[in-house]
Structure formats: structure tokens, C-alpha cells
Amino acid sequence: MRAVGVHADAVVAVSGFWQTTSTALRAGEEAFLIDSPVLPAELEALPSLLAQAAFPQVQGLLVTHADWDHLLGRYAFPDAPLGVPESTAARLRNEPGAAQRELRAFDDEHYVERPGPLSLGRPETTQALPVPGHCGIGERELELHPADGHTEDGMAVWIPWARVLVCGDYLSPVEIPWISEHGSATAYLATLRRLAPLVEQADHVVPGHGAVLDGTRAAAILGEDVAYLEALLERGADAPLPLARRSGAQRRIHAENVGRVAAAV
């Protein structure tokens, strides 16, 4: 796991698996964690890593969307309450146990052992956050922006005083736009257009997967992703993939996207 300080109040850890990112954030005596690394040793190391960075104890876990690989913060901070966008709260309610099942399938496949099953806590302790909206931390406020399209739920978190955008599964340098089962290419495009003015102001953009980007690089990826999605909607399978993201794995995601777009028409 790589950890990078992007601001005095924000540290980003990038998991050794899928390069899933996790952002620790502090304001005064309060600290939050947004999303999570994937591997057990990484989750176990997080509390001491943040203590070394002189962060206060993490008192809240925010998640950008309900995909299981972003939901594992409880393994690191078992008592911290979960804050999720309303759209994610609805998804967790509508698909009870889905994250746990998918985590188990992943762990079985890769021989990963965890200290116990994933506990997301009781639904009544999960805070459903209105998005668009604000979320207080210490004496500061985070801006929450809707970010659907990859999935049917999601939010991007704008940290105004640090000029950092934590956007969930968008703007990845390693993954093409992925329209998952209940996602939508048109909603994805709308999210990218919504994020564009934030990217323009950002010193750093933290994608759900991949290394932290500076604003210029993130804007370039945003342009590539808009072009890919527009081509996907117009030309389906013939849409060219962004130059730096054409591996076999990305071609499989593209094939999946082609099926989703065809099914949505």
C-alpha cells in the first residue's frame, strides 16, 4: 500500500489490489476515512499509519458508493459510524448482504483470509447523507456532489480548503469508464460534466482506482472519458479505448459496457 500526503489534512492510501484508494481527512480534532483499501494487511495497518501522520482517531467512514471494495473501512475502524449518500443507503437496503457475498467470493477466489465477516453495522446507525449537500467535519464542511453512472448510486466529495476532489469510480488513470449492472452511460456523462468545474479548481483528484492526479491530468482523463462514452453511445463496440487504457482487462470492461448500452436502448 502506498500512502501520499496531498495536503496537511489529507492522506491518500492506494491499495495493492485494483489500486483502490482510501482518503483520510482531518479538520481540528476530527478525522474521517473515505472508502477503503482491499487487502487485510492494509486495513490492519491504516490506524497506525494515520497515527504516525498525527491524525486524530477516525470518527466517521464515508463511502463514495456501495461497491464492496470501497466498503471495508470497518475492518480498520470497527466502531466508526458509516456515512453514505442517500442513493447508496437505498442500494444497501435494496441489496441486503450483497457486499458481504461479493467480498466472500473475492476472498475465496484469491485465498484471502479476513479476521471476520464484514459488518456494516445496523442500518439505523448508518447516516444517509443528502446529496447534493454538505457534511461537517471539525469546524469545516465538505461538499457532496452526486456521482452516478458507474453504478446507480454515488457521490463525489469536494474538500474545499485542501482543493482535493475524491470522486469515487470516475477519472481513473487505470480503468476506463465502467458501466456496471445498474449504471448508465448517459448518467456517467452527466456526472463527468458535473465534476468538470471541480476538477478545474482542484490541486489533486483522487480517483476510486489509481494514483492521485493533479488537476491538469484529471482534466485530460475527463476529456478522454467523455470522448470514449460519446463514441460508445454512437458506435458501440467500435468505440476506441483511451490510448493508455487498452489492456485485456480494459477490453473486457469495454465489452461489458457495449452490452449494457445495447440493453439500455
Closest listed residue to residue 91, CA positions, set 120, 116, 115:
120
**Residue 169 sits in the site that holds Zn ion (CB under 5 A):** yes
Cβ 183 to Zn ion shortest distance, Å: 12
φ, ψ for residue 43, nearest 5 deg: -65, -40
30/67 with CB nearer Zn ion:
67
Query: Which of these segments, 35-43, 107-115, 207-215, 226-234, binds Zn ion (CB under 5 A)?
Result: 207-215
Neighbour-count burial for 132-144, b at 16+ CB within 10 Å, e otherwise? eeebebbebbbbb
Which residue, 20 or 126, is less far from Zn ion as judged by CB?
A: 20
Q: How far is the CB of 195 from Zn ion (least distance, A)?
A: 16
Q: Is 37 in the site for Zn ion (CB under 5 A)?
A: no
CB of residue 44 vs Zn ion: minimum separation in angstroms?
Answer: 21
Residue 223 identity: G
Q: Which residue, chain included where needed, has cell 494487511?
A: 41
Q: Which is nearer to Zn ion, 152 or 169 (CB)?
A: 169
- Please give the single-letter amino acid code of residue 167: C
Specify the residue for cell string 452490452.
259
Distance CA 211, CA 172 (A): 8
The H-or-E segment that residue 195 falls in is helix 185-201
Pick the binder of Zn ion from 208, 212, 221, 225 (CB under 5 A). 208
Residues 105-144 that bind Zn ion (CB under 5 A): none
> What CA–CA distance (Å, rounded) separates 63 from 71?
6
| Nearer Cβ to Zn ion (26/91) | 91
Helix (H, G, I), strand (E, B) or coil at 105: helix
Residues 31, 21: Cα–Cα separation, whole Å:
17
Q: Which is nearer to Zn ion, 169 or 225 (CB)?
A: 169
Locate 201 and state its grid cell.
479548481
Nearest to Zn ion of 137, 229 (CB atom): 229
Q: Stretches 2-10, 29-37, 88-96, 200-208: which one binds Zn ion (CB under 5 A)?
A: 200-208
Q: How far is CA 39 from the centre of its chain?
A: 16
Binding mask 57-96 for Zn ion (x = CB under 5 A): ----------x-----------------------------
| Structure-block grid coordinates of residue 254 | 469495454
Nearest CA among 9, 7, 14 for reference residue 172: 14
| Choice between 137 and 257, CB closer to Zn ion | 257
How many residues make contact with Zn ion (CB under 5 A)? 3
Single out the segment in contact with Zn ion by CB under 5 A; choices: 4-12, 81-89, 161-169, 223-231: 161-169
Part of the chain binding Zn ion (CB under 5 A), chosen from 30-38, 166-174, 193-201, 256-264:
166-174
71 three-class SS: coil
Residues at the interface with Zn ion (CB under 5 A): 67, 169, 208
